[in-house]
Structure 1
Amino acid sequence: MAIPSLQDGIDEAGSPVELLWKPHAEPWLPEVVDREYAGWRLEQRAWHQGVALLNLSHHMYDMWIDGPDATRLLADHGVNNFERFAIGQAKQYVPVTREGTIVTDGILAREAEDRYLLSGIPAAQHWVRYHGEKGGYDVSFTTDPSSAFRPGGGDPKLFRYQVQGPLAAELVERTFGGPLPETKFFHSSPVALDGRAFRALRHGMAGQAGFEFIGPWEHAAYVHEAFLEAGGPLGLVQVGALAYTTPSVESGWIPSPVPGIYTDPDLLEYRRQLALFGIEGKRPLNGSYFSADIEDYYVSPYELGYGKLIHFGHDFVGRDALLKAKHSVRRTKVTLVLDPDDVREVVGQGQDPGFHLTYARHRVENGTGLIGMTMQTATIDPVGTLLSLALLDREHAEPGTQVHVVWGEHPGSGTDPEADLGFPRIRATVRPAPFNEHARTFYRRNA
């Protein structure tokens, strides 16, 4: 029996939105990690005030691209600058369609002259592999799915541990017996513990300094235990699945935007290659914002804040569309700080709402109507309320602007997208994205 494709699912449902619309969808959480260790509030505070250890080993999808055409393939299908891409460096890789809409982003690390590792949500990997095979590039691909989807189970090929927070540097020195080599942001250095070799990627989240340590799975348990032992006197806190999903809201990264692949007739073959039960067919849409047209959910790299990553000095798929759109971007990314009293009343039914996370697209309105949509919302305990990453029409995106978030679940097709369904409104204030000042200044300057 043939495995159903994404196009099969669209045809059976009647449209891409009919396929993806799932009111009250449960938010994604990282696989094979406890929901909480010390409690999500303490875990969030750890990377703001102390030191936190995060295990990224199980939920990342990895794909290695090897061969003499590896750089050409990635440059032909990504907006990034490959003229200055050192071995040991990583970049946020941004592939787009010919219309200039994002497929999704991923973390691309250059491991050797003709070898790269692309990690993250697998939509970008699917895109690169399809075009590499269809285009006849001289490359090979090796994949390692996330632990929830690895055929036959088994361990990952790599471990990934993040050490974050104001005390991260002290923890690293305690673990390794001294400071690590001076390393630029998003570059890596070779390190070792008792003869076990791996790499340290200079990285951070929510504006806090830190490293991501990446190495062969055979060393995973030893390295993890070494961090726990060295971190004991510092109050090291392990971060569980709930808290792990939230720093992206503070750091301004919108995870898993809707890939712009569902409507272009020239991508029919691509949709027939994709499995229905992959990320493109199963990442749900929900919230108070509803449109029957999937293209209303597409986004451009400009809207996501990736404009400075676009390098027009080379030809790539979508280049002409991005050039044309450069000076006419309608929406921009902002942070919405939801009013704590309204959150308590609407989300918490008069009580402390506790932990809340959603990737729902909620309507954002002002006195004249719709001005944008939320993309991710989460409780940020150190801030004392919910924050939303949102895309707003530029004329309504000035920091300090007062708006309303419509809190509810549109039922989908058959109901007017503009119908007043009696959903409550939560007052919110527009703030910059990233919300964290250090992430907004230092990280964005050095990324």
Structure 2
Amino acid sequence: MNDPGQIPHSPYLPLDPEVAAYNSTSGHLTPWEFAGWQKEVMSWKDTAYLHAGLNPTYPYKISGPDAMKLFADTCVNSFAKFSIGGSKHAVMCNAQGNIMAHGMLLRTGEDEFITFYLSPYINYFVDSGKYDVKGEDLTGQVFMFQVAGPRSLEILEAALQEDLHDIKFLRHRPAQITVESGQVVDIKVLRIGMAGSLAYEVHGRIEDALPVYAKILQAGQPFGVERIGMLVYGMNHTENGFPQVAIHFMAAWHQDPDFIAYLGEAMDYYAGHFAQLEGSAGPDLAARYSNPIDLGWSHVVKFDHDFIGREALAALVAAPRRAVVTLIWNVQDILDVYASFFEKGPAHDFMTFQADTIWSKNGMVSHVDEVLKDGVRVGLSMGRVYSYYYRAMISLCPIDIAHADLGGEVEIVWGEPGARQKKIRATVARFPIFDLPRNEHIDVSAIPRLAGAVALDA
């Protein structure tokens, strides 16, 4: 019998006795890194990675005749075209236009959908009684694996022995994989990813997670697949230019007291999970809220329907206040931070080299720093990471439009309020900094098809 004081290993991937460090944010032990962070961060540029660390993905199934209306009322996205087998990056805002939740939304049937990371906010509307729908929490029943990088399609085709070239960006379809035992397992393959490069997700039942993971890993060996841990996964959002809750901004839950009341005692869990606010931006939670316009998601916002936050977002589209950019941190100023640990007197706050801390024992950490121009705050720096590929310390910054020109120089305030602080020079650079072929633009017909694989479109 397991010691109840022990944290269990993740049920979503096999135990590897060679793994030395783990993270417990999700309530189970998930590998921190596998082959070393340098190899892992290069995987989505050179080969591909396999990642299981996002589980559980807060999967929530919604079905019923009013399901589409619910999404149209609560999401900024257009639902004029949303066929079965499609998916969307769904963004939910409050009346002020600030983001309350965002995640993937898959249409799996005429009146059936599965959401990822929209819970618990989407549950709030399901349980409101205003819609003829039924919600089902699938947490603990399903898994999701990410396979991302230029060799990802070849790896999955080798694992499934099936031609997957027909799956277009943001589309998903059923597939099958034969695992080591000889069992044929039903899965779903979706073309999407957080790394910017060609990427897919594999979805299935939790009881099939370990053998499916093992089969994909085995099939990926000839292609140089790398497993990535929680350290590196938290780094690819900044490089790819995909802002994420906690890493880059905070969900504006406290602006909706009715939602807080709906959560009841569960709010204690969420408050603890997202309680750690770090960085020179200080303890003001509201300063870390953001909206889809400031984050570069204007293309997702469609005004062909009424939705919560429409009026506020229309005003922002008409007169944008900020543009999101990448900041490249000055190397000498970074070295000065480290040099302070070899000098007498108070040192600067330590700068963890690979990235700001985003995972803690009990939840996630939001590290946000002030960005100044001539001593005046003009933006916030968030999601700092070291890009091994671009050999630069970078972060994302929704910055005042007047200071968004590429090549401009600003200052990032490093250090907690009340501690020794340093102004680090930074250069405004392109967003995203990732400039390799992107998933949505890649023509997979140029990628060799697996010889002998079954083609769905044959």
TM-score by length of 1: 0.81
Aligned position for 1:165: 149
1:37 aligns with 2:21: no
Per the alignment, residue 241 of structure 1 pairs with 230
Note the 1:32-111 alignment, pairs <5 A: 32-56=29-53, 58-111=55-108
Aligned to 2:112: 115
Residue in 2 that maps onto 1:382: 389
Pair 126,29 (structure 1): closer, same or farther in 2 beyond 3 Å: closer
Worse-superposed segment, 172-181 or 71-80:
172-181
Q: Is residue 2:279 matched to residue 1:290?
A: no
2:171 is the alignment partner of 1:176? no
C-alpha displacement at 1:291, in angstroms?
6.4
Q: Relative to 1, partners in 2 of residues 1:59 and 1:343: Cα closer, same or farther, differing over 3 Å?
A: farther
Question: What letter matches 1:356 in structure 2?
Answer: A
Comparing 327-336 and 49-58, the one that deviates more:
49-58
Report if aligned partners of 1:65, 1:140 keep a CA contact under 8 Å in 2.
yes
* Offset at residue 77 of structure 1 (A): 0.8
Report the counterpart of residue 240 of structure 2 in structure 1. 251
Matched, 1:364 2:359: no
Aligned residue number for residue 424 of structure 1: 422
Instruction: Using the TM superposition, give the Cα deviation of residue 32 of structure 1 relative to its aligned residue in structure 2, in angstroms.
Output: 3.2
RMSD value over aligned CA atoms? 2.6
Amino acid paired to 2:187 = F
> Per-residue deviation at 1:281?
5.8
Shift of 1:141: 1.2
**How big is the shift at 1:442?**
6.0
Paired position in structure 1 for 2:253: 261
How many angstroms apart in 2 are the aligned matches of 1:305 and 1:367? 25
The answer to whether residue 402 in structure 2 is matched with residue 410 in structure 1 is: no
How far apart are the structure 2 equivalents of 1:382 and 1:445?
20
Partners of 2:194 and 2:127 lie apart in 1 by 35
Q: Which residue of 2 aligns with 1:131?
A: 125
Amino acid in the other structure paired with 1:357: D
Amino acid at match of 1:64: K
Q: Which residue type is aligned with residue 261 of structure 2? A: R
The alignment covers a number of residue pairs equal to 393
Rounded Cα–Cα distance in structure 1 between residues aligned with 2:313 and 2:134? 29
Deviation at 1:341, TM superposition (A): 3.2
Q: Tell me the secondary structure at the aligned position of residue 146 of structure 2.
A: strand
CA distance in 2, matches of 1:299, 1:231: 38
Any idea what the Cα deviations from partners look like across 1:114-140, whole Å, max 9, x if unmatched?
1111112xxx32222212322421111
The 3 A distance-change label for structure 1 pair 395 and 348 is same
Q: Say if 1:159 and 1:133 are closer, same or farther in 2 by CA, change over 3 A.
A: closer
Q: Which blocks of at least 5 consecutive residues in structure 1 are unaligned?
A: 1-26, 146-155, 412-420
Distance 1:49 1:442 in 2: 14
Pair 1:230-2:236 in alignment: no
1:34 offset after TM fit, Å? Answer: 0.5
- Give me the whole-angstrom Cα distance separating, in 2, the residues matched to 1:407 and 1:46: 30
Structure 1 residues 52 and 291: CA distance shift in structure 2, 3 A: closer
- State whether structure 2 residue 313 is matched by structure 1 residue 319: no
| Stretches of structure 2 lacking an aligned partner (at least 5 in a row) | 1-22, 179-183, 343-350, 358-365, 444-458
Specify whether residues 356 and 311 from structure 1 end up closer, same or farther in structure 2 by C-alpha distance, changes over 3 A only. closer
Amino acid at match of 2:354: F
Matches of 2:411 and 2:25 in 1, distance apart? 27
User: What per-residue deviation string (whole Å, max 9, x for no partner) do you get for residues 35-67 of structure 1?
Assistant: 011011111111221221111452411111111
Tell me if the contact between 1:338 and 1:428 (Cα under 8 Å) persists in the aligned partners: yes
- The corresponding residue for 1:435 is 433
Q: Deviation per CA, 1:227-275: give whole Å up to 9, x if none.
A: 1211222222110111111110111121113233324xxx333212223
Q: Is the 8 A contact 2:59 2:116 kept in 1?
A: yes
Distance between the aligned counterparts of 1:114 and 1:280, measured in 2?
33
Residue 166 of structure 1 aligns to a residue in which SS?
coil
Between the aligned partners of 1:70 and 1:220, the Cα distance in structure 2 is: 29
Matches within 5 A, 1:10-21: none
Tell me if structure 2 keeps the 8 A contact 1:103–1:261: yes
Deviation at 1:361, TM superposition (A): 1.2
2:200 to 206, 211, 220: 211
> Could you tell me how far apart the structure 2 residues matched to 1:437 and 1:60 are?
28
Report the identity percentage: 29
Whether the aligned pair in 2 keeps the contact of 1:56 and 1:162 (CA below 8 Å) is no
Pair 422,340 (structure 1): closer, same or farther in 2 beyond 3 Å: same
- Equivalent residue of 1:208, what SS? coil
Give the partner amino acid of 2:218.
E
Q: How does 1:338-353 map to 2 (within 5 A)?
A: 338-347=329-338
Deviation at 1:408, TM superposition (A): 0.7
Distance 1:262 1:347 in 2: 37
CA distance in 2, matches of 1:44, 1:400: 26
More deviation, 339-348/374-383: 339-348
**Cα distance between partner residues in 2 of 1:272 and 1:187:** 36
C-alpha distance in structure 1 between counterparts of 2:156 and 2:258, whole Å: 48
SS at match of 2:417: coil
Superposed CA offset, 1:298-321 (max 9, x none): 322111111111121111112122
- The corresponding residue for 2:298 is 307
Contact 2:89/2:103 (8 A) holds in 1 = yes
Return the match for 1:392 from 395, 399, 418: 399
- Secondary structure class of the residue paired with 1:377: strand
The separation in 1 between residues aligned to 2:24 and 2:98, in whole angstroms, is 23
Q: 1:281 to 1:84 in 2, by over 3 A?
A: farther
Q: Cα deviations across residues 309-360 of structure 1 (Å, max 9, x unaligned)?
A: 1121111112122223322221221111112333233257589964222431
Partner amino acid for 1:316? F
